[in-house]
Structure 1
Amino acid sequence: MSNIIVLGAGMVGSTMAIDMAKKHQVTITDFSEKALEKAVKKCDKLIPEILDVTHKTILQKTIKPFDLVICAVPGFLGFETMKTIIEAEKNVVDISFFPENSLELDALAKEKNITAIVDCGVAPGMGNIILGYYNEKLKLTDFECLVGGLPKIKKWPFSYKAPFSPIDVIEEYTRPARYVENGHIVVKEALSDCEFVEFENVGTLESFNSDGLRSIIFTMPHIKNMKEKTLRYPDHIEYIKVLKESGFFNEEKININGTEISPLEFSSKVLFNEWKLGDTEEELTVMRITLKGTNEKGENKTIVYNLHDEYCPKTQTSSMARTTGYTATAAANMFLDGLFSEKGVFPPELVGKHERCFNYILNYLKERNVIYTLEES
């Protein structure tokens, strides 16, 4: 049994803490006492502790006694928190999905002799792990990841609910999308290249460009074509484009009767209630990973992994928390079991390249009924 600390008691952070508590002693921390109470109510094995991760010395002192840190803080806090953890010489599994390049911390992690596994969710995360595994088996030419979290009940106008902050969702709609075409990095506006895609048990969904390739742009430069697209119900994108083009996502403050407010802050407040996912509201996660390449014999191969996961009423856990959180706890337990011990910062594709790590994570998820189905041709 190891001594684990989880930073962040949100929907995903608490799910990870509860899962880790099956085998380990787990302390869960958050700035919000209410979030901690909610987590402990679900699992009384958890040890709650109020913590502000922006206080560097307090954070380093707090994590000192622990064998592993699991980081689930909001994205805007992620990079500095990760840096502080590494400086404290603590091994870490991270799902904060910060916008900065995690590989910038690789030299520091090596110097401190620690292992940091980053971006360890569903996407980025499991898609990278699958890519890393098949990159060892095939000469890959194409990688495509289609992914989305959706409510089961569509409510007009957006037909969408978010298990995290609306400002993080809006970031996905405004940050330019990078993808790789014929070996060149192409930058396009988010929400561009909309296409309709059919999914079994869901029907027609709409896909659009989003900036989800992250580390694989740098770690897999030999793959000529790589793209990540987000999935939503049809018409969602049209309404988002109307808001975007009308200036509702602008950060520059405007003056309304003597009060300065940014349209983005205002929109986030309005959309918070519209998009807030209820604690027991049913939702689902859909993902399709497609890989193309040639084997040793020069034969063309297409590998497709599909995921269809739904809210678990038994544990009252959202699908997005399950598919994201359990990938991270799989990586955490894999590390604690001694299957991965390299030092430095590792995006998931550099973990998935090892067959035993790939199989461990897939089996771990399967035990929790998060099932990826494989089609080969």
Structure 2
Amino acid sequence: MKIAVLGAGMVGRTMALDLSARHDVTSFDLSPVNLHRLQERNREIKTAIADLSAFSSYSDWLSPFELVVLAVPGFMGYRALEAVIDCGKNVVDISFFPEDALQLDLLAKKRGVTAITDCGVAPGMSNLIVGRYNETMEVDRFECYVGGLPKIRRKPFEYKAPFSPIDVIEEYTRPARLKENGHIVVRPALSERSYMDFGEIGTLEAFNTDGLRSLLFTMPHIPNLKEQTLRYPGHVDLIIALQQGGFFDETPVDINGVSMRPIDFSSKILFREWKLGEEEEEFTIMRVIVEGMKGGKPERVEYNMLDRYDAATKTSSMSRTTGYTCTAAAELVAGGLFVEKGVFPPELVGKQEACFDFVLNYLKQRGVMWTKW
């Protein structure tokens, strides 16, 4: 199958390489450096330099392709998804954008398109899990804890970002929506901090972030929904200090005659501090808990995942856990296992047992191991 991968960043490259083993893949990106890094790994992958914010050009670029995989920055994700759907192309997307992708459902149905959205690790695998168990039990509670962290802890932040620091800052500042006792509530990001033990990794701090997204609307019958981010202890205090000190403010300030937003300055500094090296060891850790009733008895299901940087392939764990979940979904579409038309967040895919099992097995074959407790 001819597949276009839009975006050749860290995760986009991983997905292009994975899909190229079975498909004719072309990678699109504005950065020649990103495309060069990809071709160094596999010269059979075709590349095209393209400004992916030129949405009106999508119809020309994508006409030869049967399937599109989207891996663009969040700020342009919604419009990119809309443009791909409008071209009548099936699409699987990992872009984390603030808009509601379900608003494109009618357009996707009209164009006869299958669109699977938010298909990474979280959102992504977490949604697949709750979608599957929602079919077999009366779910009362869903909790997800997830984080990507460097193996070597370096002060002060003890953190490295596998994606743009501005997206991380957005995660730290956007209010978090949760579901409690049947009601959607809003809590400040970074709030309700707790400490959790993760065996060989040790103690991590968990805190609220706005990661539930579509689950708030596709699973309205589940009364309790929560997602929290994981970091090394002490990270939250540093971020709160920056936030309260005005470093994330968007109102410009004058610096020797130059107008600058503090958040832009902070992003530049944090990009240097948080930049993940191409071969830097890191890991992704995740715990998903689903509780409810089954056959009149209490039921609790827990899935855990710990994935580390793969030195053999020089692939980060965040690329593996995010990218391979997305390429698994792409194979669901390419192989005709999931053929419904419209926009489908992963929980609406995972409800089908065959699809859920396929994704878990696909990840297992690539060394991303999910353990059910």
TM bracket (short chain): over 0.9
Counterpart residue number, 2:41: 42
The residue type paired with residue 306 of structure 1 is N
**Deviation by residue 1:283-339 (Cα, 9 ceiling, x = unmatched):** 0000000000011x2110110000000000010000000000000000001111110
Task: Output the CA distance in 2 between the equivalents of 1:173 and 1:60.
Answer: 36
Q: Find out whether 1:190 has 2:208 as its counterpart.
A: no
Following superposition of structure 1 onto structure 2, how do residues 253-264 of structure 1 map, counting pairs within 5 Å?
A: 253-264=252-263
TM-score for the superposition, normalised by structure 2: 0.99
Following superposition of structure 1 onto structure 2, how do residues 126-145 of structure 1 map, counting pairs within 5 Å?
A: 126-145=125-144
Any idea what SS the aligned residue of 1:185 has? strand
Counterpart residue number, 1:283: 282
- C-alpha displacement at 1:181, in angstroms? 0.2
Task: Output the CA distance in 2 between the equivalents of 1:126 and 1:97.
Answer: 14
Counterpart residue number, 1:246: 245
Task: Output the CA distance in 1 between the equivalents of 2:159 and 2:138.
Answer: 38
Counterpart residue number, 1:348: 346
Q: Find out whether 1:60 has 2:59 as its counterpart.
A: yes
- Candidates 354, 357, 364, aligned match of 1:366: 364
The residue type paired with residue 93 of structure 1 is V
Any idea what SS the aligned residue of 1:17 has? helix
Any idea what SS the aligned residue of 1:9 has? coil
Counterpart residue number, 1:178: 177
Following superposition of structure 1 onto structure 2, how do residues 43-122 of structure 1 map, counting pairs within 5 Å?
A: 43-122=42-121
TM-score for the superposition, normalised by structure 1: 0.98
Q: Find out whether 1:212 has 2:230 as its counterpart.
A: no
Contact kept in structure 1, 2:58 and 2:87, CA below 8 Å: no
- C-alpha displacement at 1:58, in angstroms? 1.7
Task: Output the CA distance in 2 between the equivalents of 1:3 and 1:314.
Answer: 28
- C-alpha displacement at 1:57, in angstroms? 2.8
Contact kept in structure 1, 2:101 and 2:117, CA below 8 Å: yes
Any idea what SS the aligned residue of 1:201 has? helix
The residue type paired with residue 125 of structure 2 is M
The residue type paired with residue 247 of structure 2 is F
**Deviation by residue 1:189-224 (Cα, 9 ceiling, x = unmatched):** 100000000001100000000000000000001001
The residue type paired with residue 216 of structure 1 is L
Counterpart residue number, 1:326: 324
Any idea what SS the aligned residue of 2:200 has? coil
Task: Output the CA distance in 2 between the equivalents of 1:56 and 1:336.
Answer: 24
Any idea what SS the aligned residue of 2:195 has? strand
- C-alpha displacement at 1:56, in angstroms? 2.4
Task: Output the CA distance in 1 between the equivalents of 2:316 and 2:62.
Answer: 28
Any idea what SS the aligned residue of 2:48 has? strand
Q: Find out whether 1:317 has 2:306 as its counterpart.
A: no
Task: Output the CA distance in 1 between the equivalents of 2:358 and 2:200.
Answer: 28
The farther-off stretch of 47-56 and 333-342 is: 47-56
Task: Output the CA distance in 1 between the equivalents of 2:65 and 2:255.
Answer: 49
Counterpart residue number, 1:226: 225
Moved over 2 A (4+): none
CA RMSD across the alignment = 0.6
Task: Output the CA distance in 2 between the equivalents of 1:115 and 1:246.
Answer: 45
Counterpart residue number, 2:306: 308
Contact kept in structure 2, 1:51 and 1:59, CA below 8 Å: no
Task: Output the CA distance in 1 between the equivalents of 2:238 and 2:283.
Answer: 21
**Deviation by residue 1:34-60 (Cα, 9 ceiling, x = unmatched):** 111111112212101011122223222
Any idea what SS the aligned residue of 2:204 has? strand
Task: Output the CA distance in 2 between the equivalents of 1:157 and 1:57.
Answer: 44
The residue type paired with residue 335 of structure 1 is V
Task: Output the CA distance in 2 between the equivalents of 1:12 and 1:54.
Answer: 18
Contact kept in structure 2, 1:142 and 1:223, CA below 8 Å: yes
Counterpart residue number, 1:337: 335
**Deviation by residue 1:122-175 (Cα, 9 ceiling, x = unmatched):** 000000000100000000000000000000000001000011110000000000
Q: Find out whether 1:237 has 2:204 as its counterpart.
A: no
Any idea what SS the aligned residue of 2:247 has? coil
Contact kept in structure 2, 1:85 and 1:92, CA below 8 Å: yes
Task: Output the CA distance in 2 between the equivalents of 1:365 and 1:56.
Answer: 32
Contact kept in structure 2, 1:52 and 1:59, CA below 8 Å: no
Task: Output the CA distance in 2 between the equivalents of 1:177 and 1:60.
Answer: 36
Structure 2: segments with no counterpart, 5+ residues? none
Any idea what SS the aligned residue of 2:134 has? helix
Task: Output the CA distance in 2 between the equivalents of 1:226 and 1:58.
Answer: 40
Any idea what SS the aligned residue of 1:366 has? helix
The number of residues matched between the two structures is 373
- C-alpha displacement at 1:255, in angstroms? 0.8
- C-alpha displacement at 1:97, in angstroms? 1.1
Counterpart residue number, 2:268: 269
Any idea what SS the aligned residue of 1:136 has? coil
